[in-house]
Structure 1
Amino acid sequence: MRNKRAYIKPVLESETFVPQNYIAACGDLNKMYKFKCDAGSGVSGDVYLETNGKEGFQEGGFLGWGGDRYLSSYHACGITHEASTTDDFLDGYYITGSGRNKKVIPVKVWRGPNNDNTHCTENLDMDSWETVKS
């Protein structure tokens, strides 16, 4: 007697592709933030970087006593800057006055294209900043 083979219908099996890593192939390339250097509305003051890990401004960083670190004097230039989304934007404080008249304003600090300048904005929500392609 002859061996009979049973017909088996072909079945296509598929898998759903689930990416494991995010890679910005082209969407974030050359993307720039636009923000206005406007902290303090033109009043001269000083900028300190949030460096001690404690919430709020703590004095003493200039002398190395565990406070936030002094960066530079500052006067808003009022210019809308374009900065790469890969640049460092630092948390800091813009300070005017002294004693009872001291005013502390949280700011985002950008050090400029050569990392040698101080530009600040009071708009801390970077997700709300306008972005453009360079």
Structure 2
Amino acid sequence: MKKEWMEPVVEVQEFAANEYVAACGDSGKVYKFVCDAGQYGHNYNVYYYDGSGQKKYIAKEGSWGGWGSQAQFSGYHPCNKTHEAESDSGFISGFIDDQSTRDDEATPVVIWTENGTNVHCTTRLDINTWETAKS
């Protein structure tokens, strides 16, 4: 019996992670961002819109707006530090307004409240462009 020679063929399959294989999703992802919204030395009011479209403040001159408490606070100002925060730690879309001007600038920001203890804002609005850390 005569055997016929065949050229070897290599098949490559692309790996596609799915819910049964992937160990992690966005849950638990840690984002790095710089608290850089506004200018140091200025105080800002920080606002967001609630589900009903009402403008609410988080940080306002004369009070730490930690969700309504009235402790002394001089308003938000950037700390210019890099923070690490888990994806589910409460990022909020909002805006800042410089208290020293009459105009309502309403500079768009992403707000992070560090579990309700402090307010940090960044003007880098697209969270998909932020650096991430291993969780």
Q: Say yes or no: TM over 0.5.
A: yes
Contact 1:50 1:93 in 2 (8 A): no
Aligned to 1:107, what secondary structure does the other structure show? strand
Matching of residue 69 in structure 1 with residue 56 in structure 2: yes
- Which structure has the greater CA radius of gyration? 1
Amino acid at match of 2:126: D
Contact 2:43 2:100 in 1 (8 A): no
TM-fit CA distance, 1:20? 8.9
- Output the TM-score relative to the length of structure 2: 0.64
Query: Identical aligned pairs, as a percentage?
Result: 42
Could you tell me which runs of 5 or more consecutive residues in structure 2 were left unpaired when the two chains were aligned. 1-16, 60-74
| Per-residue deviation, residues 46-94 of structure 1 (Å, max 9, x unmatched) | 101122555xxxxxxxxxxxx4001112011110100011211001110
Runs of 4+ deviating beyond 6 Å = none
Contact 1:52 1:68 in 2 (8 A): no
- 2:50 — aligned with what? 51
Aligned residue pair count? 103
| Per-residue deviation, residues 9-68 of structure 1 (Å, max 9, x unmatched) | xxxxxxxxxx996885235564310000010022211101122555xxxxxxxxxxxx40
- 1:35 — aligned with what? 33
Contact 2:95 2:109 in 1 (8 A): yes
Aligned to 1:40, what secondary structure does the other structure show? coil
TM-fit CA distance, 1:115? 2.2
- Output the TM-score relative to the length of structure 1: 0.64
Q: Distance in 2 between matches of 1:103 and 1:28?
A: 33
Amino acid at match of 1:130: E
